[in-house]
Amino acid sequence: MKIVFLDAATMGQVSFAAIEALGDLVLYQVSSPEEAIHRVRDCDVLIINKVKVTPELMDAASSLKLICEAATGVNNIDLDYAASRGIPVRNVAGYSTDSVVQSTFMHILSLVGKAPYFDAYVKSGKYSASGLFTDASRAFFELSAKNMGIIGMGNIGSRVAGIAEAFGMNVSYFSTSGTSHCREYPSLPLERLLAESDIVSIHAPYNERTAGLIGAAELALMKPAAYLINMGRGGIVDEQALADAIDAGTIAGAGLDVFVSEPLPKDNPLLHVKHPERLSLAPHVAWASVEARQRLVDLIAENIRKGW
């Protein structure tokens, strides 16, 4: 059995032993659409992360029996065409929950605690020259007794809620699907959640209900001292509106792990704000702790082991 992974570079340094034990594994670090066509010709199992699996690609893989998505979302695969060819598609869910939750609070604590400023203050020598044992010039606040508003109360949102409670925060949520059965925390309309929350944290998928969910009008509802965290998908937040809100002081700041276009284009408005210190940006890595990436590989192997 030949197994081809078209964009293995997205996995970083992990052990592929569990997959190698199942067949002849060929790893390509990156693959252009043209390269992918040639590389899948004799494969039985195709693994991809962000490579687009088009009808043309599937037609080129005459022996293809299984498509394994090295992620949860499968919007890069033409599912209808795969079904018409009788090719099952398997994804992996839940492998990165701990990693995403941890990254969520990394952004929150960095923004709220002004960590980048204080770190630079000490390393620049300003602290040594100050004559003071402390620096009280930058205000930061405690999470205790503040309001955490969560958009998307799935597995990750629920874990974020629990940790927010451990900090002493008051948690509420908005269900983007309208089907959440969570009874531990109050469910609020989006407008009220935005207006009352000190931190708004997004943990929702991208779909017709969430596309453009947070725009200029929604940002204007938030407190001037509030922070927006987006760990869901880039298209949920209007990036130009967010950049404008950051510069205008409509909100205090934002932390983002995801963007509309990835990698981030050089002309993205978030890279050109007047106050970059109000932003905490990461290159879509919240999912990618060492443990999560290895867990993902092992679960892909399990999906292959199930056969087709």
Domain count, the chain: 2
* Residue 27: CATH number of its domain: 3.40.50.720
C-alpha 305: how far from chain center: 28
Query: Which secondary-structure segment (H or E) carries 72?
Result: none
Take residue 91 and report the two structure tokens written for it: 């994804």
With tokens 């078209």, the residue in question is: 6
Q: Which domain holds residue 158?
A: 97-281
Beta-carbon contacts of 238 under 8 Å, excluding residues fewer than 6 positions away, are 212, 214, 215, 216
Rounded distance, CA 35 to CA 39, Å? 6
Q: Which residues are catalytic?
A: 233, 262, 284
Take residue 290 and report the two structure tokens written for it: 């060492």
Whether residues 42 and 154 share a domain: the answer is no
- Is residue 154 within 8 Å of 134, Cβ to Cβ? no
Q: What does each of the 308 residues of the chain score in pLDDT, given as a tens digit?
A: 999 999 999 999 999 999 999 999 999 999 999 999 999 999 999 999 999 999 999 999 999 999 999 999 999 999 999 999 999 999 999 999 999 999 999 999 999 999 999 999 999 999 999 999 999 999 999 999 999 999 999 999 999 999 999 999 999 999 999 888 889 999 999 999 999 999 999 999 999 999 999 999 999 999 999 999 999 999 999 999 999 999 999 999 999 999 999 999 999 999 999 999 999 999 999 999 999 999 999 999 999 999 88
Question: For residue 199, how many other CB atoms are within 10 A of its CB?
Answer: 26
Whether residues 111 and 260 share a domain: the answer is yes
Whether residues 75 and 201 share a domain: the answer is no
